[in-house]
Structure 1
Amino acid sequence: MRVWMGPKYNDTNMYNQLLSESLEGIGLEVNDVKRKQFGKLKRGDVLHVHWIHPLYQKNNMLLFMIRSLIMVLVFAFLRLKGVVLIWTIHNLYPHQHKFPALERLTRKTVIALCTKCITASEFIKKQVVKEFGVKPDKIAVIPHGHYQGVYGHQGKNYREIYGIPEDGYVYLFIGAIKPYKGVQQLVESFNRIKSANTYLVVAGKPSKEMEEVLSRYQGQQNIVMDLRFIPDEEVADIISMCDSFVLPFQEITTSGSAILALSFKKPIVIPKTPFVDEYFTPEIASIYDPSKGELLEDAMKKVQKVDPDQVEPVYEHILARLDWKNIAMQLSEIYQNRPAPSISRALDKG
């Protein structure tokens, strides 16, 4: 079976590479597909796409419509040709979209053309069913795999580099910094609760608007702003120096950053969402509910009480559920249009 992964590699996320390698590990051929290669696909091949909005989005409405139509026609032609079309829906809609009605129509049409769609949680599946009027059996739920063993250590001491004492408690935000990720709220919350021995590290490349916002916090006491793209080879050492992750996202469906924290067995502070409920337990996550008036800063205080030794078995159980080989086997069944094994909550204790 030939799988054409769109994309096989992603410059800002290891997810696609890990997924592709896991499929290759069970004997499937996985190719990186570009738009100009769609014509090479043959009957029985699998086209597995992820983020489709770059194929059609434009700020000009007419161009948006033309590109959407071209994409839909190409997908329809491939389906008529006998190609299996799979779409992993990571987000209900792109984080930025100018024409909501056209976005909905385009995505609904693509779903209709797909052989099968995939989501990483039951909640996202329910959202897709409700928003686009999809039959539930059109969508399979396959969890997001872990990042254990992916990022190697270089042996750098980032506490020393950042000027943080070994006995200091370190909160970390790592990843691309965009408005919806709540980093400004995180900094302000930290400033309200910080003590002489608590530190906040924000490591990642900000968008242009966030670069201006965060510049005002540069040089503040006990706050480290490492505002740049963090290369893969530095990720493990930076994460190793922290005590907990803080991810106060204002929008969240599936979070690779949250899975990264889980993979390094770091407790996490995160707002309550159905995704969080499916992937995390209170033993390893300080979960707060803004809709009930619960505060980020209270959750940040609470996470300091997590004992890493006591929660080790919880991490092991969850990570076993997110094993890439299991995910590859489930995907292989879907590619062959067979029902994947029933997938319960990632945290199911059964």
Structure 2
Amino acid sequence: MPERSAAVDAHPAAEGGAAVAAALRILQSFPTPRPTTNPYLVMLAQALRAEPDLEVLNFSWKTALLGRYDVFHVHWPEIMVTGGTLPKRTVRQALFLLLLARLRLTRTPIVRTLHNIGLPDGLNRVERVLLKLFERRTALVITLNTLTPVPPTVPSATILHGHYRDWYGKYPQSGAVPGRFGYTGLIRRYKGVEALAAAFLDTAGLEPGLSLLIGGSPSSDGLTEGLRELGGRDGRMVLDLRFLPDADFVTAISSSELVVFPYVFMHNSGGVLAALSLGRPALVPDNEVNRQLAAEVGPGWIHFFTGAPTAEVLLEALRAVRAAGLPEAPDLSARNWDHAAADHRAAYRRAVDSLGGRPAR
């Protein structure tokens, strides 16, 4: 893995030696936000718009192909080449090729945030070929932690995922229900929520006053049916299987004494940061990324399991939380959005400079 380079701002020299930053127009790869848009994307755009020398555009194919911008910042490129139907995929893929051609002709750099390790499962050969072409055109990658592997020939910058304190702070919090474990967020197979429900069933009779709240929208009918079957076995389990609006999300997280993330694999998780932002400790898979986060936020806030969660793991973590004597809030000072915005601005300028520092077109 190559040595990481920090994002360093580059400003053209002005008359008399002063540094002047020309404004940059940044096209983000997500459209105008909707209620279901990932809050990370919305908070990032808000923070960038607060920078005096940045202008942020939301994505549309018309803007991407005909608009004027200096940098194209992409988060999940697979969204641009996939679709629910063959006609939709075909149109997107044709537009994607036109966009790559436009970016190459205008020498507009692509900046990509690596939210995940590798591409998602289920992509076909054409989609993978298109994404390989995209990777070759990428001028700079942004990682959310120092352990994300990066392409060996592409410059990179690590910019920490910002916190959610401001985002969720406008909603009233619930007091933690003693003995309540919680999982809230999108429910996908790799997140292990069924394994959490099964482990919780095994706590029956081991300790009084326990409960489990699972909130979020399952990604398949099979997951929904499996969770409802497990929940029907134990009245201590509460299921709210729908997309939770922010106010309900805050209530669900803040009512939990311990928020559990029973993932089979975890690398970056906005959900963990959301729980911490709401002042709730988290139980997560034991890996180096999560160990770094635990050292950052302070003792007692992050607890670990290996393999799959079990009844014993849940009870042991709950006892550890109660024994920790947590301060009022974890330390999230490194994740202020003004820091993230400044680091993104510097990364954008590096990308522009790498292709000659051309003006918006």
> By the TM > 0.5 criterion, same fold?
yes
- Who is 2:144 aligned against? 120
Q: Which has the larger radius of gyration?
A: 2
- Who is 1:218 aligned against? 231
Partner letter of residue 35 of structure 1? W
Given candidates 302, 305, 308, the residue that maps to 1:288 is 305
| Contact 1:202–1:227 (CA under 8 A) maintained in structure 2 | yes
Query: For 1:177, what is the secondary structure of its paired residue?
Result: coil
Given candidates 109, 114, 130, the residue that maps to 1:84 is 109
**1:242-295 deviation line (CA, Å, top 9, x unaligned):** 1111011113221111111121221111112333233224632221222xxx75
TM-score with structure 2 setting the length: 0.78
In structure 2, distance between residues paired with 1:86 and 1:331: 10
C-alpha deviation, 1:54, in angstroms: 2.0
- Who is 2:155 aligned against? 138
Cα 1:227–1:63 change in 2 (3 A) is: closer
In structure 2, distance between residues paired with 1:308 and 1:145: 28
1:262 is the counterpart of 2:276: yes
- Who is 2:44 aligned against? 19
Given candidates 287, 308, 321, the residue that maps to 1:273 is 287
In structure 1, distance between residues paired with 2:289 and 2:41: 20
- Who is 1:30 aligned against? 56
In structure 2, distance between residues paired with 1:173 and 1:96: 24
In structure 1, distance between residues paired with 2:302 and 2:126: 38
**1:106-145 deviation line (CA, Å, top 9, x unaligned):** 3332122012111212222x1x43xxxx32x522221111
In structure 2, distance between residues paired with 1:276 and 1:213: 29
TM-score with structure 1 setting the length: 0.81
Higher relative contact order (CA 8 A, sep 6+): 2
In structure 2, distance between residues paired with 1:189 and 1:71: 44
1:166-181 pair list within 5 angstroms:
166=177, 168-181=178-191
- Who is 2:248 aligned against? 234
Given candidates 327, 337, 350, the residue that maps to 1:312 is 327
- Who is 1:193 aligned against? 203
- Who is 1:244 aligned against? 258
C-alpha deviation, 1:296, in angstroms: 3.9
C-alpha deviation, 1:33, in angstroms: 1.4
**1:186-242 deviation line (CA, Å, top 9, x unaligned):** 001111124321110001111222111112123422110111111112222222211
Partner letter of residue 110 of structure 1? F
- Who is 1:4 aligned against? 27
- Who is 1:322 aligned against? 335
In structure 2, distance between residues paired with 1:76 and 1:327: 30
In structure 2, distance between residues paired with 1:47 and 1:338: 10
| Contact 1:247–1:270 (CA under 8 A) maintained in structure 2 | yes
| Contact 2:215–2:242 (CA under 8 A) maintained in structure 1 | yes
Query: For 2:321, what is the secondary structure of its paired residue?
Result: coil
| Contact 1:286–1:300 (CA under 8 A) maintained in structure 2 | no
Given candidates 107, 111, 134, the residue that maps to 2:135 is 111
Partner letter of residue 185 of structure 2? G
In structure 1, distance between residues paired with 2:157 and 2:171: 38
Partner letter of residue 27 of structure 2? W
Question: Unpaired runs of 5+ in structure 1?
Answer: 160-165, 340-350
Cα 1:103–1:288 change in 2 (3 A) is: farther
1:140-155 pair list within 5 angstroms:
140-152=157-169, 154-155=171-172
Question: Unpaired runs of 5+ in structure 2?
Answer: 1-23, 353-361
In structure 2, distance between residues paired with 1:67 and 1:13: 22
| Contact 2:140–2:351 (CA under 8 A) maintained in structure 1 | no
Q: Following TM superposition, where does structure 1 have runs of at least 4 consecutive aligned residues deviating by more than 6 angstroms?
A: 59-66
Query: What is the alpha-carbon root mean square deviation over aligned residues?
Result: 2.9
C-alpha deviation, 1:70, in angstroms: 4.6
Query: For 1:216, what is the secondary structure of its paired residue?
Result: helix
| Contact 1:2–1:45 (CA under 8 A) maintained in structure 2 | yes
C-alpha deviation, 1:32, in angstroms: 0.9
Report the more deviating stretch, 196-205 or 296-305: 296-305
